[in-house]
């Protein structure tokens, strides 16, 4: 009745798109390997191996972990975007942000901490200890700051 093998097309991959339309309310955590567009309300966390687009009507009350996300709507939770986080002018974020790259349009609102850059494994960051300066470095730092004080009139 149907030609060809459709099972290959049904596998999760980041090029496929899931859509949660406006008026839809989902409670629970969402885990997907595919990209997703959210125009509705999600009460729960999102773990996405693709890209997330949160539309203006979209609201997520939970943490988001993804590769890339573009936010037009509201997030009440922490966002971790491995590659890129784009906050459009209508975006409202109430939570902490951790991403490699961040784009913020004028008008976007953020209530939380922001950490950007390339990060090693989280466990390594948490367990890292500050490096100890050697005595020569400490002495040169003190000398440099003293010279700067001499320049102040």
- Report the C-alpha gap between 58 and 40 in whole angstroms: 5
What pLDDT score does 31 carry? 96
What pLDDT score does 12 carry? 54
Q: What is the pLDDT of residues 6-47, one digit of tens each?
A: 555 555 555 788 999 999 999 999 999 999 999 999 999 999
What pLDDT score does 118 carry? 81
DSSP 107: T
Please indicate, yes or no, if residue 27 is contained in any of the structural domains: yes
Q: What is the reported pTM? A: 0.70
Of 136, 132, 133, nearest to 144 by C-alpha is: 136
Please indicate, yes or no, if residue 2 is contained in any of the structural domains: no
* Average pLDDT score, the chain: 81
Query: Where is average pLDDT lowest: 30-39, 58-67, 93-102, 138-147?
Result: 138-147
Count of domains observed in the chain? 1
Please indicate, yes or no, if residue 124 is contained in any of the structural domains: yes
Q: What residues make up the domain containing 41?
A: 11-151
**Would you give the end-to-end CA distance of the chain in angstroms?**
89
With left for phi above 0 and alpha for psi between -120 and 50, is residue 44 left, alpha or beta?
left
Please indicate, yes or no, if residue 64 is contained in any of the structural domains: yes
3 pLDDT above the threshold of 80: no
Beta strands (DSSP E) in the chain are: 17-20, 25-27, 30-32, 35-38, 41-43, 46-54, 59-60, 64-71, 74-75, 79-87, 92-94, 97-104, 109-111, 114-116
Please indicate, yes or no, if residue 3 is contained in any of the structural domains: no
Please indicate, yes or no, if residue 5 is contained in any of the structural domains: no
Please indicate, yes or no, if residue 6 is contained in any of the structural domains: no
Q: What is the pLDDT of residues 72-104, one digit of tens each?
A: 999 999 999 999 999 999 999 999 999 999 999
């Amino acid at each position: 009745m149907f030609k060809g093998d459709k099972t290959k097309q049904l596998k999760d991959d980041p090029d496929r798109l899931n859509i949660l339309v406006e008026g839809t309310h989902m409670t629970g955590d969402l885990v997907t390997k595919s990209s997703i567009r959210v125009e509705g309300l999600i009460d729960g966390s999102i773990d996405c191996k693709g890209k997330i687009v949160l539309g203006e009507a979209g609201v997520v009350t939970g943490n988001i972990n993804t590769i890339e996300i573009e936010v037009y709507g509201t997030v009440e939770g922490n966002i971790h975007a491995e590659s890129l986080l784009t906050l459009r002018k209508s975006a409202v974020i109430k939570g902490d942000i951790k991403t490699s790259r961040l784009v913020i349009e004028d008008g976007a609102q953020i209530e939380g901490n922001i950490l950007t850059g390339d990060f090693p494994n989280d466990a390594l960051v948490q367990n890292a200890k500050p490096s100890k300066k050697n005595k020569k470095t400490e002495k040169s730092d003190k000398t440099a700051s003293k010279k700067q004080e001499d320049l102040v009139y």
